Amino acid sequence: MSGPLDGVLVVDLTRALAGPHAAMMLGDLGARVIKVESPGSGDDSRGWGPPFVQPEGGDRESTYFLSANRNKESVTLDLKDDGDRELLRELVRRADVLLENFRPGTLARLGFGTEVLAELNPRLVTLSISGFGHDGPEGGRAGYDQIAQGEGGLMSLTGSGPDDPQKVGVPISDLLAGMYGAYGVVSALYERERTGRGTVVRTSLLSAVVGVHAYQGTAWTVGGQVNRAQGNHHPSITPYGLFHCQGGTVQLSCGSEGLWRRLCTEFGLDAEAPGMATNGERVGNREQVIELLERAFADISPEELLARLAGAGVPAGKVRSLDEVYAWGQTQSQGLLVDVEHATLGRVSLPGPPLRFFAAGPDGETETTRREHAAPPVLGSANEAVRAWLGG
């Protein structure tokens, strides 16, 4: 129940979101994560808010920080201090993984460049996350999520139309860089079993955004077509998107001709009407398809419409607010809400890890997913314990 990375030691030098998210993913998998923070202020995100939560008589806590730092221990080190640098060197000697998201070159200037880390610990896996890459004509640029979303093309695909670029509602380039980084670390740990040596894994906010272009990318690289934002409807499948009905909205997807025919049968529409018979035709006549369906849905409430779509076997769903998502039994059944005991806030609920693990045997499956999680740490709360451990 301790996780597949039980026994792996991670030294987390990162701050803000991309790196901390990667480290939290490793911690969720059972690794021991020691988060190194600056004395006094700590991780930048400790000051990001509102919202803040402040217990009576205690220091305020940023909900932003709480989102990316469960299952970690906090140690404060001043990397310009000789004694603290020696403590970091000792951590590196013992570590399996080191994570950093300083601007390229910063860690080397602090005395912990790639060659130094390899000399201290040849088996060390290092994850380095930057804004736009560690080399290239614009390598070294500072990276911030929304800027990366724009520079990486994601905002041009998001919004109500081509003249309305919008960012994604969460810092998606940060989160994706963290996810790709954690994936790279696990791969490097596996490789180390074969080679006996560590390696350096590098990714960036730009790489993460371009890495999820998917069919939007090949529309250009192969098809020569530059897609633009077009609201809540799919560029290559119709109908697939958000539709208005009486007093609300419903999302539905017809990813096959069979689903299209089921939809038409349920609502008395002609699936073979001119310009409607195939997905290619419907994509070319998207606005007419949307108008046709919304006219058919005009007198149907969202609840009734969802029930009829489910009965017809057409994939559909509602648009939930976040409070509805976390109150939803399906969300809770997947372990996506976890309760932890915070040092100053007491019992709090956090969004949970998205992975579950099962052991398969002759008698069926047994879940081995980690169940107990540690709350995000108070700044420097592990100072004495970690220093005593290093001293020992």
Active-site residue identified among 164, 174, 323, 339: 174
Cβ atoms of 337 and 351 within 8 Å: the answer is: yes
**Residue 57, amino acid:** G
Distance of CA 193 to the CA centre of its chain: 27
**How far lies 130's CA from each of 290, 330, 349, in Å?**
42, 36, 31
Element (H, E) at 211: helix 205-211
Q: Is the dihedral of CA 381, 382, 387, 392 positive or negative?
A: positive
Tokens of 147: 């800027």
DSSP calls for 317-361:
E----HHHHHH-HHHHHTT-EEEEEETTTEEEEEEPPS---EEEE
Based on C-alpha coordinates, what's the Rg of the chain?
A: 25
Rounded Cα–Cα distance for residues 325 and 197 (Å): 43
In sequence order, the 6+-apart residues with CB closer than 8 A to the CB of 132 are: 138, 139, 140, 141, 143, 148, 151, 204, 205, 206
How many other CB atoms sit within 10 Å of the CB of residue 346?
Answer: 11
Active site residue 174: yes
DSSP calls for 155-191:
GGGSSSSTT-----SS-HHHHHHHHHHHHHHHHHHHH
Any idea how long the chain is?
Answer: 392
Catalytic positions:
174
